[in-house]
Amino acid sequence: MRLPMKKNVFFVAAFCFATGALAQDAPSVQDISKAVVRASSQYANAVSCETEKIGPKQIAGLRPYKSFDDRMDAVYAVLWSGDIGCAGGSGTSGTNISIVTIGAGDSYVVDPTRSSPVVQFESPVRYVERIVGNTPDTLILEGKDYGPKDPNCCPSVPVRFTLKVDGKGNWKLVEKKVMPVKK
């Protein structure tokens, strides 16, 4: 049996919609990074003082935005440095974490219930220097720890460590190893 042309067009359009053939692409990685940095920067400035500029290198895509259909599941961890609560002093600044999600209308928002200062970020170093890798629930990071004679300003022992998020959203240290000194 042959269907009239209008019905064929309707069935093709319905099939494409139902199978996702008309699904939209995700924004570019650069556009996503800019939006994640903007949301994290606004959050960091709202809860802390003396924040350092956040850039794309501080972002870990725990569950990256790959298509329009999975955008509501996207999660990004952003590391940033600042003095939460603006206490001042030489030991009040450190590395913190923000968890950025995507809401309605592609709005990028920090989830404060999953971010510093609400959750613990159990870093063995004062400042994280770089993100080495990640999975949806772990971060592999590098920084410098204090040696026996290091002053507060200047840790010198390079370390690589892994943090894993627990059921309460806290980032706990699960592994730490001293790295060779780079010359």
Report the pLDDT value the prediction gives residue 18, as an integer from 0 to 100.
45
Report the pLDDT value the prediction gives residue 114, as an integer from 0 to 100.
97
What number of other Cβ atoms are within 10 A of residue 12's Cβ?
Answer: 11
Report the pLDDT value the prediction gives residue 2, as an integer from 0 to 100.
56
Report the pLDDT value the prediction gives residue 26, as an integer from 0 to 100.
82
Residues with Cβ < 8 Å from 4, sequence gap 6 or more? none
Q: State the average pLDDT for the chain.
A: 87
Percent of the chain residues past pLDDT 70, beyond the cut: 86
Report the pLDDT value the prediction gives residue 182, as an integer from 0 to 100.
75
CA-based nearest residue to 68, from 114, 31, 96, 105: 105
Residue 1 predicted with pLDDT over 70: no
What number of residues does the chain have? 183
Residues with Cβ < 8 Å from 42, sequence gap 6 or more? 110
Burial 60-98 (b: 16+ CB within 10 A, else e): bbbebbeeeeebeebbbbbbbbbbbeeeeeeeebbbbbb
What number is the average pLDDT over the span 88-117? 91
Residue 6 predicted with pLDDT over 70: no
What number is the average pLDDT over the span 120-137? 95
Alpha-carbon distance of 46 to 27, in angstroms, equals 27
Q: What is the pLDDT of residues 20-60, one digit of tens each?
A: 444 568 899 999 999 999 999 999 999 999 889 999 999 99
Confidence of residue 126 (pLDDT cuts 50, 70, 90): confident
**Which tokens belong to 84?**
């939460």
Report the pLDDT value the prediction gives residue 105, as an integer from 0 to 100.
82
Alpha-carbon distance of 42 to 54, in angstroms, equals 10
Confidence of residue 19 (pLDDT cuts 50, 70, 90): very low
What number is the average pLDDT over the span 149-166? 94
Q: What is the pTM of this model?
A: 0.83
